[in-house]
């Protein structure tokens, strides 16, 4: 229902909302199972030993499945970045004069608790576009390092679907070993442990990103009074009549 003096503006399509919640659910599952894989922190409630009920195997399976969903989601989002008919996010991360100005105006708005608001809030702004771009880069890095850890479980070079699968994964992700060592300070002999550590640290960066994302959406809803938090549910928000573009 529209509010007096406000106009309802579409901000997300049905697919964008579904994708948002699929990613959110998968992320929770990936964090829970990833923490268990790195350091098993719970035992089953049945008397049988955990090893007999494949607790680790189930955690690894769920972790791998949600990673595959992330893969598909990332590919779709990368496509929509450039070819979406609704909006093309790449236009907002290009460092043009208008985008840079909008980025800092939104940042100032945040830091001054909405005391200054010199930008249009009826569409996706440059600050949010850059913020989400960082998130997708982190997700891509997690996927590549995760697949590098996974492919080393296929030491024989074989898999149930053929040799091409581990060969392709090695081709696509072996570079993450020296890259991870470099990120950790540059060891003389890069090892898989460097990838494992960086994969784990990246998870905490993503959790930090999610915490700020939730905080910022609530913040905007309270200060802007445009129902931003409802976008991921109904796909729309409200803007004042004279602000609607």
Distance between CA atoms of residues 147 and 67, nearest Å? 9
Phi, psi of 238 (to 5 degrees): -115, 135
pLDDT of residue 245: 44
| Cβ-proximal residues to 171 (8 Å cutoff; 6+ apart), any chain | none
Closest CA to 220 of 98, 131, 135: 131
60, 179, 202, 213 from 184: Cα distances, Å? 25, 9, 12, 27
pLDDT of residue 45: 63
Q: Who has greater pLDDT, 149 or 47?
A: 149
Split at pLDDT 50, 70, 90, the class of 244 is very low
CA angle centred on 13, ends 118 and 74, rounded to 5°: 95
3-state secondary structure 29-57: HHHHHHHHHHCCCCCCCCCCCHHHHCHHH
Q: Is the pLDDT of residue 73 over 70?
A: yes
Distance between CA atoms of residues 67 and 143, nearest Å? 7
Q: Is the pLDDT of residue 42 over 80?
A: no
| Cβ-proximal residues to 55 (8 Å cutoff; 6+ apart), any chain | 40, 43, 44
Question: What does DSSP assign to residue 188?
Answer: S
pLDDT of residue 84: 87
The pLDDT tens digits of the residues spanning 149-191 come to 988 877 787 888 888 888 999 999 999 999 999 999 876 788 8
Contacts of residues 175-181 at CB distance under 8 Å and 24 or more positions apart, as own/partner, are 176/144, 176/145, 176/148, 177/148, 180/145
End-to-end CA distance of the chain: 20
CB burial of residue 215 (10 Å; 0-12, 13-18, 19+): exposed
């Amino acid at each position: 229902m529209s509010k007096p003096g406000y106009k309802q503006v579409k901000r997300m399509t049905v697919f964008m909302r579904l994708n948002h919640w699929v990613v959110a659910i998968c992320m929770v599952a990936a964090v829970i199972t990833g923490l268990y894989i790195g350091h098993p922190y719970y035992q089953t409630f049945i008397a049988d030993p955990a090893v007999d009920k494949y607790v680790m195997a189930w955690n690894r399976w769920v972790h791998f499945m949600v990673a595959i969903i992330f893969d598909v989601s990332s590919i779709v989002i990368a496509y929509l970045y450039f070819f979406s008919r609704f909006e093309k996010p790449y236009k907002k991360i290009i460092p043009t004069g208008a985008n840079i100005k909008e980025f800092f105006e939104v940042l100032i708005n945040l830091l001054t608790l909405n005391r200054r608001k010199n930008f249009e809030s009826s569409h996706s702004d440059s600050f949010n576009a850059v913020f989400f771009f960082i998130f997708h880069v982190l997700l891509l890095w997690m996927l590549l390092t995760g697949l590098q850890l996974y492919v080393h479980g296929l030491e024989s070079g074989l898999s149930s679907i053929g040799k091409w699968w581990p060969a392709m994964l090695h081709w696509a992700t072996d570079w993450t070993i020296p890259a991870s060592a470099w990120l950790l300070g540059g060891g003389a002999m890069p090892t898989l442990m460097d990838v494992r550590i960086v994969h784990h640290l990246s998870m905490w960066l993503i959790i930090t990103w999610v915490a700020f994302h939730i905080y910022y959406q609530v913040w905007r809803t309270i200060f802007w009074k445009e129902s931003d938090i409802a976008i991921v549910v109904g796909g729309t928000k409200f803007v004042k009549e004279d602000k609607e573009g």
